Amino acid sequence: MKAPCRVVFLLSLLAPACGGAELRIASLMIEPVKWDKDANARTFERAIRDAQRQGADLVVTPEGALEGYVVNEVIRATGEKRAELTERFNALAEPCDGPYIRSFQKLCRELKVYLILGLLEADGGKTYNTAILIRPDGTIAGKYRKTHFAQGYSNGDKKGDNPPGYLRGTSYPVFKLHGRKMGIMICYDRQKPIVARNLVANGAEFIINPAFGMMGDCNCRFLTARAKETHVPILFVHPHQTVYSDQGGEIKLDLRPKNDDPRVVVVPVEIGNVATTSP
């Protein structure tokens, strides 16, 4: 694992409409270890600290950062192996008041930063692909549950099925940060126009897109399309790629780090019609 300072992407969102105030967003291009929450919690804590030292207001992890995004391991398995992985999968899921989440709440309170953390969430006997937003005071502002799955929506014990009880979200919440309104969509959601449209209809002025799956030129195409449709900027955060599209659909950054490439870049982005008060 490289030193966290080499896996942090720093994005400044400049908003001239509200007197030149800025929101600095750190995108953590780190591939988590599958099934190992302990290792991932330590790695992301170090990276969050690095981002805060560089002036980040909001830090974003990739999809499934806490447990390593392991649903595909279950989906591809059969027989006894599938049963074993399903049990591990359910045991790995954590409620939003679980011990690892509480540790990140404490970290945000210490560092005075916002954090979007990707995790496998447990709630009422069900599991979800979730991104939670933690405030600088350590409280949870809310969460977004992935609404669209590339693999489909069937649940069961056969190869190709989602694990029993693994469900998609059904709502499109919007969150306030320093007077701005932010939407979150997760990975495959970026391919469905309805997701970004619903977020913007609910008031989102910019969108954060944590992901784990496909990387490459396709992400530039998806972000360009969604930004042109909604007229809001979008930031895509992946373990091996960060893409930023402005509100007109122009790709301002496509970062695909290799080896010891620098991982810190600052980009000015204009957001229109921004409120001037914080929540």
| Lowest model confidence (mean pLDDT) among 42-51, 81-90, 147-156 | 42-51
23 in a structural domain: yes
Mean pLDDT of all residues in 104-131: 97
49 in a structural domain: yes
b/e string for 46-82 if b means 16 or more Cβ within 10 A? bbbbbbbeeebbbbbbbbbbbbbbbbebbbebeeeeb
CATH of the domain at 234: 3.60.110.10
Q: For residue 259, what pLDDT is reported?
A: 81
Q: For residue 17, what pLDDT is reported?
A: 40
Q: Which domain holds residue 47?
A: 7-255
225 in a structural domain: yes
| Lowest model confidence (mean pLDDT) among 14-28, 77-91, 191-205 | 14-28
pLDDT band at 266 (very low <50, low <70, confident <90, very high): very low
Q: For residue 10, what pLDDT is reported?
A: 54
Q: For residue 12, what pLDDT is reported?
A: 55
Domain count for the chain: 1
271 in a structural domain: no
Mean pLDDT of all residues in 212-224: 97
265 in a structural domain: no
| Lowest model confidence (mean pLDDT) among 19-33, 83-97, 202-216 | 19-33
3 state SS of 84: helix
DSSP annotation of 33: P
Task: Find the angle CA(184)-CA(99)-CA(183) to the nearest 5 degrees.
Answer: 5
Whether pLDDT at 4 is above 70: no
Q: Tokens for 102? A: 């509480």
Whether pLDDT at 274 is above 90: no
75 in a structural domain: yes
Q: What is the pLDDT of residues 82-110, one digit of tens each?
A: 999 999 999 999 999 999 999 999 999 99
Whether pLDDT at 52 is above 60: yes
270 in a structural domain: no
Residue 113 backbone phi and psi in degrees, to 5 = -125, 155
DSSP annotation of 165: T
pLDDT band at 146 (very low <50, low <70, confident <90, very high): very high
Q: For residue 205, what pLDDT is reported?
A: 94
pLDDT band at 8 (very low <50, low <70, confident <90, very high): very low
Whether pLDDT at 5 is above 50: no
Q: For residue 272, what pLDDT is reported?
A: 64
Cα–Cα distance for residue pair 217/24, rounded to 1 Å:
25
243 in a structural domain: yes
Whether pLDDT at 201 is above 60: yes
